[in-house]
Chain A
């Protein structure tokens, strides 16, 4: 990855943080706000495969943790697992299919939130399971499914020259935009 590639990826992550910390925090659906930071490892997994999904998930998770009151590193742990899982689950699929990103966002976000609560509870924060988990899963998954295609487009630009496991990134980007 060159310095230019890193700058592009950083810019995408920064944009997601800005939107999450301004627009998304003001939106409350049943007392729950959407979480688009969860989308980053998911779309990175689709575009770049398991390794890139895990690596970018880890990095974006550390950034997300800066703005959360939960244990530092927890988002990084869950995001790298989800990025890896999405990469692995989609590696054999036609990654140019338009429905892949919304479907992966729906399932990946649900798994993310459930794992986040469960791992937080295991790591000494039992109250993280005493929340409206079902409502959080529904709100975050549905909003992320809706936003998955623009997120794919942005991440395709951010990872334009990154190596992928399975197919050229340019093809994925074009497919996602179709």
Chain B
């Protein structure tokens, strides 16, 4: 009996040790090249399967949704038949297309990017993990995208490329808890602060803003562009929503709203730029 109950525990101990070793080596860089390479290969291999299955599953999902709401669908269909001529004339002005056009037009005019080379991309998915704020985009290494490149959207900074495969990439949003962006604010040359993500859908918080700094609501923080910074200078990041200083605090508590609408991203621009560029 003791031998029988000891074996599973030994197995568990060995597996836990193996997992902790993998996590440690990955975090410290020793294994990271291997794991990111394997992740990239898996993403490349899975990309056509994902597209194929989605092409089959999406119409089935729509059909099932229609079956469940048959009465409502029939009523809606009659209504739509009556309105079809009118809708044909107004087709171009559907809210969906307007939103897409708005985002695309805004991306064509991003003055803060200057002469930097860019690649437009479409957002294909809103993150594979509930524990991280990421989006997947439809461009990858074959389009010149590399790890850590900045990603911007209409309004300002969206995030940074966290992993890249041949045709796709994952972008870590600035709202992710792991994100930290070096910024400038105030009159030129500007003071420095670090904006930290606090989670998907949540505002950003500022670090290194001294207490009693006169900040006005709506003031925009832009990327600092310091030597070795992760982002080129001058990209709008977030706007002050509220600020206050605690009685014994040496730092101002600043809550900021990202300039880019991260909840409704459809199109983004990857800036082909790295810290050494």
Contacts and interface: CB of A to CB of B under 8 A. Distances in A.
B12 A136 contact: no
A58 B8 CA distance: 14
A76 interface: yes
Interface of A: 17-18, 21-23, 25-26, 28, 31-33, 35, 49-51, 54-55, 57-58, 61-62, 66-74, 76-77, 80-81, 84, 87-88, 116-117, 120, 123-128, 130-132, 136, 140, 165
B178 A123 contact: no
A21 B128 contact: yes
Q: Which of A31, A74, A127 has the most CB of B within 10 A?
A: A127
Q: Using C-beta atoms within 8 Å of the partner chain, give the interface range for chain B.
A: 35 or more
Interface of B: 7-8, 11-12, 15-16, 18-23, 26-27, 31, 35, 38-39, 42-43, 46, 49-50, 53-54, 57, 61, 125-132, 134, 162-163, 170, 172, 176-178, 197-202
A69 B19 contact: no
Contact of A77 (B16, B43, B61, B126): B16
A21 B50 contact: yes
A51 B56 CA distance: 38
Q: Which of B11, B21, B27, B125 has the most CB of A within 10 A?
A: B11
B62 to A, nearest CB: 12
B199 A72 contact: no
A140 B42 CA distance: 24
Contact of B125 (A25, A54, A132): A25
A127 B197 contact: yes
B49 A73 contact: no
B27 A131 contact: no
A128 B22 CA distance: 19
A73 B32 CA distance: 11
A32 B132 CA distance: 11
B39 A71 contact: no
A55 B11 contact: yes
Contact of A22 (B16, B54, B129): B54
B23 A58 contact: no
Q: Which of B53, B57, B128 has the most CB of A within 10 A?
A: B128
Contact of A58 (B15, B42, B130): B15
A87 B8 contact: yes
Contacts of A21: 46, 49-50, 128
A55 B15 contact: yes
A35 B12 contact: no
Given A77-B23, A81-B12, A165-B8, A72 B130 contact: no
B215 to A, nearest CB: 24
A72 B134 contact: no
Given A23-B57, A49-B8, A124-B27, A80 B131 contact: no
18 contacts: A18-B53, A21-B49, A22-B54, A57-B15, A66-B43, A67-B43, A69-B134, A74-B19, A76-B18, A80-B19, A84-B12, A117-B131, A120-B131, A123-B27, A125-B178, A126-B177, A128-B132, A136-B130
A25 to B, nearest CB: 6
A84 B61 CA distance: 36
B177 A128 contact: yes
A57 B162 CA distance: 26
B197 to A, nearest CB: 7
